[in-house]
Structure 1
Amino acid sequence: MKHMYIFSMNHGMSKSAVSDSLACEKSSLPQPNNLPGSFQEAKHLISPLLMPLQKYDACINDCVLYRDTKEKQFVTLQSCPVCNEPRTKNGITQKRFTYMPVGPRLSRWFGTTNLCKLLYANRLSVNGTVKDFTDGKLYSSWFQPGGVFEGVPESLAIPLSLFTDGVNPNKHMTSSKSMWPIILTWINLPIDIRQLLGPMLLVGVIPSGIKGSEPKSLEPYLELLIDELLSLTEFTVYNQYEAAPVTVKVALLQFLCDIPAFSKLFHLSGHGALRSCPYCTEAGQHCKHLHKTIHNSNRRFLPADDPLRTADDFGSVEQREKPAPYSPENEIQLREKYDRKPNNNQKSKLQKETGLKGKYSLLRLPYHNRMQQMQPDAMHTLADFIGHLLDALTGKHSTTKVQKCEQSFGRFNDVWNSFPDSAVIQDPRPTKKRKTTKDTSTEIPHSVPWSLSKEQIKEADRRASEICYTDVQDITPGPHFSKPWTLRTMNSKLQFVTSGGLEWCVKGFLPPTQEETLFFLLNVLKRMITPVLKECDVQQLQDDVHTALCLLEKDFPLSLQNLTTHLIHHMVDGLLDFGPVYGRWLFPYERANGWISRQCLRKGVEESTVMETYVIYDWCVHMVLSQQFKPSEVFSGESRLVDLAEKLSSEQTETCIQMIPDQHDQATSRKEKSTLKKSKLTPQMMDAMFRFYVNVMAVNVMSFQDSVMEDHRSCSVVDNCGRTVQYHGKGFKRKTASVVKIPSVSGVQFAEILYFLSHQMNNCFQDWVVLNEFPLATKENGFYCFEPTSVRQRLMHVSLLSQPLVHVRKEGLLWVLNHC
């Protein structure tokens, strides 16, 4: 077991390495022994425990799978009935698809006690808040009269979501390859479980096309999945929790993809088309100067009486209503009309008018409703939007093309008229021609109101290099404006905004109008991606987002008004239905794609090797989650999967489905407590602790230790959203001490953590901190600042602290960036 666990968990470990390890261990143990001597022997030994795999030959052009169905008999064909391409070449199948059925894995889940009881546990929720997709209105509608799960208990309903995207396992562009994994997730499971690769259900990897190109169609592969889902609509499994057979219902009700994947999945137009929005019938406008489609319809999302609809700055009055989506009936009619067109020219013309490209296989599902089951991908959308904003600030949207576009709409006339005739705006980015040592690009005039000058970019880089981030952020301080690759990941772009770093770096550089618009926009973006939303605040947030994007259209160039900007309107409008975007991030799926790409060791047949490894990984995950194998007893080190398995087996699973332990009890699992320094409590400390337990925690103190254990390193706490928050003491591994906000009746006050204390009360450890308390903070230019001199030291429980704050030390003051 442990060898297979190491093989599946270590990315890119070869089978020969496992064989060598097994052979070495077999020869070292007393002879004779039953240890397998190679990977193949070990796999043969556990093969009865592995999930079955189904292998199908596929057309090289992705027309069909050679399998028999009720409607078609293809298994004996030797050529494709659509394109007439041969099934084999030189006696070898040209393309093969490996499929891992869903039904056996669902049956195994219900047959495992500690996994099955998750579905019967009580959900922790607070009235008036939305934390996950399961708190949204759409999820509730599934169980109401007329819903797909009407009359079905939630514990016996299996709503699934589907993710697919192109993956290139080769790092070199000369050998590019695009294969498409199909991953299902169980929506009923808590967010910290369903977003792990183990509980995810990888059903197959669609092979790439000729010479590594994208598959021409996903339809034959999706039809295989749809056939199984239709057969599993209602099926019987043995429920270990109830110790009896039960009938469960399966439905595919959510799709998590980016825009190119949605286009391929639902037969929609691409992001550059005039009708590129998959959520409404809004038509963009092609700009011949920018050579792209712009969407300058932001004011349509405003109320009818909003003053911005008639503002003179836009050059026209907006009287159109909010763009409406296609109704399911109308969409079906248009897709059927597309399929009936006699030639490709007429089909292409209809596609440009409607944005639809015919019927697709998912329509076979009786409950399918595309508009209710897809939502904009917040990860790519917001990261791309922030990247475009950074490009505008650094001058990449101040070129000749942008100038001609603005002049064609009669915008910023005072800006263009102020330029001398010799000041020609050119694209500052280097061309893709042969590299030259001399830069021939013309300087960008500073009078462009949405970009920074060279001196301002240097100052912004200096400010960005001085920011002290916390462990929550993945950003390394650096020159993010002159060297944009320092923010190359999507997560770093999002965190640069949410941490207040972007606002801090450009403060005071833009004209007042543009700066006010930009900061208002950054503020609403922060509010959009919070993991917990209050229902009473959502309407105001939606209004603010629509207004901010209208102001962006007014004060910044139209080159920013692409499909990405337009999708933000739909994203915020669906918060109450779909829940916070935090529960629909694609980051976990991108990590799953990373695991898949690292398993592609055998070139040419990458897809099959991935599935052969995944079937072992799937079994190892099941053994760990069911606690039949405990890696912590064999290996040292921490693992999110192992920690999750220990939580699943705990008694708290019955009452806490979200796997969020009480933040007052985080110290119970700290193994190094016996090695920490012990010290006696002073009377003042004992009094403060006792009053906190009785008055704040409202517990009956049964036992109270008069000593504490000191820890000068760090402390981990799980917040109410299930995220781990890491605090650092002063001098820990050269990290700066965590700066936090503390409760104060006099005003806003911050403190710096010195070290941690662990106190035992009622046989449970409680984490405390000793702080350096700073003077009261004042707010200047939108940020809190204060002198970082200690007023006094103070003892405080960790539950009273805010999360560690991003800050900057400048000119004898400490500025807090992400607490406004």
Structure 2
Amino acid sequence: MIDACVNDCALFWKEHESLQSCPVCNESRWVDKDTKGMKVARKVLRYFPLTPRLWRLYSSRHTAKDMIWHSTGRSEDGTMRHPVDGSSWQDFDRKYPNFAMEPRNHMAVILTTYNLPPWLCMRESTFMLTLLIPGPKSPGKDMDIYLRPLVDELKHLWHSGVCTKDATTNEFFTMKAALLWTINDFPARSSLSGWNGQGYMACPTCNEDTPSMRLKHNLNVMHIEKNVCDSLLGTLLVNEKTKDTPNTRNDLQKLNIRPTQWLKQSGSKFLSPHPKYSFKSDDRKLFCEVIKNVKLPDGFGSNISKRVTDNNSNITGLKSHDCHILMQRLIPIGVRGLLTKDTSTPMVDLCMFFKQLCSRTLSVEDMRKAKDDILTILCKLEMIYPPAFFDIMVHLLVHLPDEAIAGGPVAFRWMYPFERYMKKLKKYVRNPTRPEGCIAEGYVLEEAVTFCSMYLQDVQTKFNRPDRNEDVVVKKCKFWVFESKCRPASTTKIKYLSTIEKSKLEWFVLENCAEVREYMK
């Protein structure tokens, strides 16, 4: 644990370890500086060193073999399946060949290890919590103060490294580590990079003065997709998140475009003509009813029907993954049938752009084509939507294909697994007055138990626990058509068949049972 200034000015660490007050604001380090007993710090940073945990990954026979997957499992057919297949990793290898020659050197993104194969590197069991920054408020632009211990350790791992034993080969080597990029939402990106994410110069990628040598801060597709979905769906349903407001109509009049959409004065009131990009009242209810009756596969998503209001006229309280499903699966179906073709086609193309971008595997050529396609899609949308629709989140869509080419599949660079992990950490809190202590204690216990469970064979652990929908092995029946390929999801219920149902079942058996087919001839 490292004491911190109550105003986030400095850490009482290394050269400031013996100070009793902050060297910047002169605030006292202690809650009661005059106490005769043990002094209690006003603010404490909990730091979990990274080096011992990286060392442990190579020292265990269960994980050491997977730590060089990034060197042995690279794609050879041009398909990007892992961040190692992206241009950023390849550029790093060319720039630092001595680092790249040792496949056991480590690429870290604060909490996850990219050396591991795709099916392991984004699992909770491989995440590494390094910092617990004290609250109750975010440090904002003072984030760098709390990152100093981690930065210093990463510098040491980069320049000097640590002597480590590889359990696979039983050899000693000098393990080094490099920070490849950061994963965060757009506001947090501003805090980390120092680039203001608001105003006309909000896009850091378009900034001409950005130096070429800088740490890559990923654009988080999860939050971009949610914000675009909120704008698109809000405008379709004309709810509180709509981009079609009276001010928007006034903008059209000031720009002297689309006069049919200008506000019309009727006595003392101003009326807004119905736009072609929003549902009419009956269509809005029909769309909401469809969403309310949607049945998703188990584990595919949350129960979106609960987001539909009682009068079937609005959809509220959507989470990020709800928007993910709506954008890629449900909105395209709704707009095709309820809007005109010239209006719905660009919306469907936008949804398909997200679906292609979020694929588990990507092709460089497909992403280059997607970059051209998104420009065309946005131009078509500009002919439909008012200028207020095109905020910074819509603009960032232009850069997402380039990000995918540089970093590989989106699934390794978005916030979904980390958001779920943060929810898990919050569940460790048992004492609301000491949340950081509860999280630290629960995390250390969880990490120790997880590591030890790899060596347990006769008990169920998170490494050998069957999946929720894993099918059990069933006894093979005499006829192929009756072979069960799955296990029942609920208790057995007896159903009496009607004559028509019985006839259909008999037809199905006769048509699909190979054993009786020869007799039918």
TM-score (norm 1): 0.55
Measured in 1, the distance between the counterparts of 2:51 and 2:332 equals 50
Q: Which of 385, 410, 414 is 1:556 aligned to?
A: 385
One-letter amino acid matched to 1:411: I
Q: 1:221 aligns with which of 146, 155, 159?
A: 146
CA distance in 1, matches of 2:3, 2:275: 59
Which residue matches 1:567?
396
5 Å-filtered alignment, 1:778-817, equals: 792-793=511-512
In the alignment, which of 53, 61, 69 is matched to residue 105 of structure 1? 53
**C-alpha contact 1:101 1:203 (8 A) present in aligned 2:** yes
Structure 1 residues 412 and 155 mapped into 2: Cα distance closer, same or farther (>3 Å)? same
- In the alignment, the residues of structure 1 paired with residue 250 and residue 195 of structure 2 have an alpha-carbon distance, to the nearest angstrom, of 31
* 2:418 match: secondary structure: helix
CA shift for structure 1 position 548: 0.8
Q: Does 1:261 align with 2:179?
A: no
Contact 1:546–1:569 at 8 Å: present in 2 too?
yes
CA distance in 2 between counterparts of 1:231 and 1:56 reads 19
Question: CA 1:526/1:256 → structure 2, altered by over 3 Å: closer, same or farther?
Answer: same
> For residue 163 of structure 2, what is the amino acid of its counterpart?
T
Q: 1:94 matched to which residue of 2?
A: 42
Distance 1:608 1:151 in 2: 37
SS at match of 1:484: coil
The residue type paired with residue 530 of structure 1 is S
Cα deviation for residue 127 of structure 1 reads 0.2
1:247 pairs with one of 148, 167, 174: 174
Task: Determine helix, strand or coil for the equivalent of 1:469.
Answer: coil
Q: Classify the secondary structure of the residue corresponding to 2:100.
A: coil
* Cα distance between partner residues in 2 of 1:252 and 1:418: 57
State yes or no: 1:230 paired with 2:159.
no
Aligned to 2:324: 494
Letter in 2 for 1:62: D
* The one of 284, 293, 296 aligned to 1:457: 284
Amino acid at match of 1:514: T
Moved more, 530-539 or 129-138: 530-539
Is 1:66–1:74's contact at 8 Å kept on the other side of the alignment? yes
Shift of 1:611: 1.3
Using the alignment, how far apart are the partners of 2:406 and 2:43 within structure 1? 41
Correspondence for 2:79 among 129, 132, 139: 129
- The alpha carbon displacement at 1:711 in A equals 4.3
Counterpart CA distance in 2 for 1:477 and 1:265 is: 34
| AA matched with 1:251 | A
Mapped partners of 1:100, 1:593: distance in 2 = 16
Aligned residue number for residue 273 of structure 1? 199
Which structure features the higher share of strand residues? 1
- The answer to whether the aligner puts 1:406 opposite 2:252 as a matched pair is yes
Given that 1:475 and 1:496 are in contact with CA atoms closer than 8 Å, whether structure 2 keeps it comes out as: no
Give the corresponding residue for 1:535.
364
CA distance in 2, matches of 1:711, 1:513: 45
1:389 aligns with 2:232: yes
What is the Cα deviation at residue 231 of structure 1? 1.4
In the alignment, which of 309, 314, 339 is matched to residue 483 of structure 1?
Answer: 314
Aligned residues: 484
Distance 1:240 1:453 in 2: 65
Is residue 470 of structure 1 aligned with residue 396 of structure 2?
Answer: no
- Matching residue within 177, 186, 199 for 2:113: 186
Deviation at 1:421, TM superposition (A): 5.8
User: Which secondary structure does the structure 2 equivalent of 1:522 belong to?
Assistant: helix
Is residue 58 of structure 1 aligned with residue 58 of structure 2?
no
Write out per-residue CA displacement over residues 794-814 of structure 1, whole angstroms, 9 at most, x where no aligned residue: 78xxxxxxxxxxxxxxxxxxx
1:263-662 equivalence runs, <5 A: 263-270=190-197, 272-281=198-207, 324=208, 326-328=210-212, 369-370=214-215, 373-395=216-238, 396-416=242-262, 420=266, 424-425=270-271, 445=273, 447-471=274-298, 473-476=300-303, 478=305, 479=308, 482-485=313-316, 488-499=318-329, 501-624=330-453, 627-630=454-457, 633-635=458-460, 641-643=463-465
Conserved 8 A contact 2:336-2:345: no
Counterpart position of 2:36: none
Cα 1:732–1:388, aligned 2, differ >3 Å: closer, same or farther?
farther
Contact 1:498 1:526 in 2 (8 A): yes
Could you say if the C-alpha distance between residues 239 and 477 of structure 1 is closer, same or farther in structure 2, counting changes exceeding 3 Å? closer
Of the three residues 454, 477, 487, the one matched with 1:713 is: 487
3-state DSSP of counterpart to 1:89: coil
Q: Which has the higher helix share?
A: 2
Q: Which digits, 9 at most, give the CA deviation of each residue in 1:651-689, with x for residues without a partner?
A: xxxxxxxxxxxxxxxx9x86x43xx3432357xx9xxxx
What CA distance in whole angstroms lies between the structure 2 residues aligned with 1:733 and 1:525? 41
Q: 1:394 to 1:423 in 2, by over 3 A?
A: farther
CA contact (8 A) 2:80 2:363 kept: yes
> Can you list the C-alpha shifts for 1:79-111, whole angstroms capped at 9, x where unaligned?
111111111122431101111111111111111
Secondary structure of residue in 2 paired with 1:88: coil
The structural deviation recorded for 1:136 is 0.9
Q: Would the alpha carbon gap of residues 604 and 712 (structure 1) be closer, same or farther in structure 2, given more than 3 Å must change?
A: closer
Paired with 1:390 and 1:117, the residues of 2 have a C-alpha distance of 47
* Distance change (3 Å), C-alpha of 1:507 and 1:255: same
Tell me the residue number matched to 1:179.
none
In 1, the alpha carbon distance for the partners of 2:347 and 2:269 equals 27
Cα distance per residue 1:192-241 (max 9 Å; x no partner): 32222221110121011xxx222251122211111111112222111111
Q: Tell me, in whole angstroms, the C-alpha distance in 2 between the residues paired with 1:794 and 1:450.
A: 51
Name the Cα RMSD after superposition.
3.0
CA contact (8 A) 1:57 1:66 kept: yes
Contact 2:123–2:417 (8 Å) recurs in 1 = yes
Judged with a 3 Å threshold, the aligned counterparts in structure 2 of structure 1 residues 154 and 537 are, in CA distance, closer, same or farther, namely: farther
Measured in 1, the distance between the counterparts of 2:119 and 2:293 equals 34
Indicate the larger mover: 458-467 or 133-142. 458-467
- Kindly indicate whether the alpha-carbon contact (under 8 Å) linking 1:185 and 1:194 is maintained by their aligned counterparts in 2: yes
Aligned to 1:74: 16
Distance in 1 (CA, whole Å) between partners of 2:399 and 2:203 is 10
CA contact (8 A) 1:159 1:250 kept: yes
Structure 1 residue 477, shift from structure 2 partner: 5.4
Deviation at 1:472, TM superposition (A): 5.5
Please state whether the residue corresponding to 1:545 is helix, strand or coil: helix
Pairing 1:742-757 to 2, within 5 Å after superposition: none
SS across alignment from 2:262 = helix
Matched with 2:518 is: none
In 1, Cα distance between the equivalents of 2:266 and 2:462? Answer: 61
Distance across 2 between alignment mates of 1:563 and 1:733:
53
One-letter code aligned to 1:381: I
The whole-number CA distance in structure 2 between the counterparts of 1:513 and 1:709 is 49
Judged with a 3 Å threshold, the aligned counterparts in structure 2 of structure 1 residues 420 and 85 are, in CA distance, closer, same or farther, namely: same
| Structure 2 gaps, min length 5 | 33-38, 494-504, 515-521
8 Å contact kept, 2:3–2:41:
yes
CA apart distance, 1:152:
3.5
Task: Write the letter of the residue equivalent to 1:119.
Answer: M
2:477 corresponds, among 679, 683, 700, to: 679
AA partner of residue 229 (structure 2): I
Q: Deviations over 1:353-390 (max 9, x none)?
A: xxxxxxxxxxxxxxx723xx222100011111111100
Distance 1:414 1:677, change over 3 A: same
Opposite residue 465 of structure 1, the aligned amino acid is K
Provide Cα deviations, 1:425-450, integer angstroms capped at 9, x if missing partner.
Answer: 5xxxxxxxxxxxxxxxxxx64x2222
Report if aligned partners of 1:464, 1:505 keep a CA contact under 8 Å in 2: no
